[in-house]
Amino acid sequence: MPKTWFITGASSGLGLEMTRQLLERGDRVVATVHRPGALAELQGEAGSNLRMVQLDVTDTPALRQTLADAFAELGRIDVVVSNAGYGLLGAAEELADADIEQLIATNLLASMHIVRAALPHLRGQGGGRIVQVSSEGGQIAYPGLSAYHATKWGIEGFMEAVALEVAPFNIQCIIAEPGPTATNFGRSLVMAPPLAAYDATPVGAVRQSIADGSFVIKGDAARTAAAILAAADAADPPFRLTLGSTAFQSVSAALEQRLAGLRGQRETAFSADRPD
């Protein structure tokens, strides 16, 4: 049976690929875009199955109204996909205040507001799914992407708590964590003006690998999108969905390192308890 989806950040990348695949299989999609006309080609092919809405996700009142209108007009939305976001590259001290604030507004605050705005409608209809597109960057960190990681680690913590809160209402949450994937993420990356002091550091190495194209990208956008949709369709979806061999290996190594560190602190941790 066809489903109805609400997807933010559908102009390009994984949002566009998910929208394309859903329309091909006959589902209905409300797709928000930042640029008017971004989905003109798909609109012509999909007809009434695609509703395109121009939206700046950082405009919270407009975001709430867009979601409310979508639920009211379509009667039911089965899956809400919070996908809009971008990256900011630079050592922490290189970053401009305004760039950090805009990144947080887009990647973290807007994602939180999308979920919060959707929940009353999902509860009212008796359940549904929320897919939050994060990245391996919600579990690990690359030098030079500190602010980006702050948003991804932040939204994952938010979703951890929300999933527990809404489980009694038949609302399931999924955090998708793709590794480096062949989308337009690199082209939309905001670059901070570099300081020479960081040229010979890990930040400089990451910056150089992106500039010269040597940064390894193994992820396929179509396959990644298909895996996210399959998880959202599953009877028992995973809470975290790690996608791509790079993400699997890097997240595995990070978790093992953290667990080893935690276990090594057992005696110190227990020593902090009250004597009684």
Put the strands of the sheet holding 50-54 in their side by side order. Answer: 50-54, 28-33, 4-7, 79-82, 128-133, 171-178, 240-243
- CA 86 vs. chain centroid, Å, equals 9
Three-state DSSP string of 137-193: HHCCCCCCCHHHHHHHHHHHHHHHHHHHHHHHHCEEEEEEEECCECCCCCCCCEECC
3 catalytic, yes or no?
Answer: no
152 catalytic, yes or no?
Answer: yes
Catalytic site residue from 82, 148, 198, 250? 148
Distance CA 107, CA 82 (A): 10
Distance CA 155, CA 175 (A): 9
Catalytic site residue from 82, 134, 135, 250? 134
48 catalytic, yes or no?
Answer: no
Q: What 8-state DSSP symbol labels residue 76? A: -
Nearest to 198 by CA among 89, 125, 114, 111: 89
Amino acid identity, residue 244?
G
Q: Which residues are catalytic?
A: 134, 148, 152
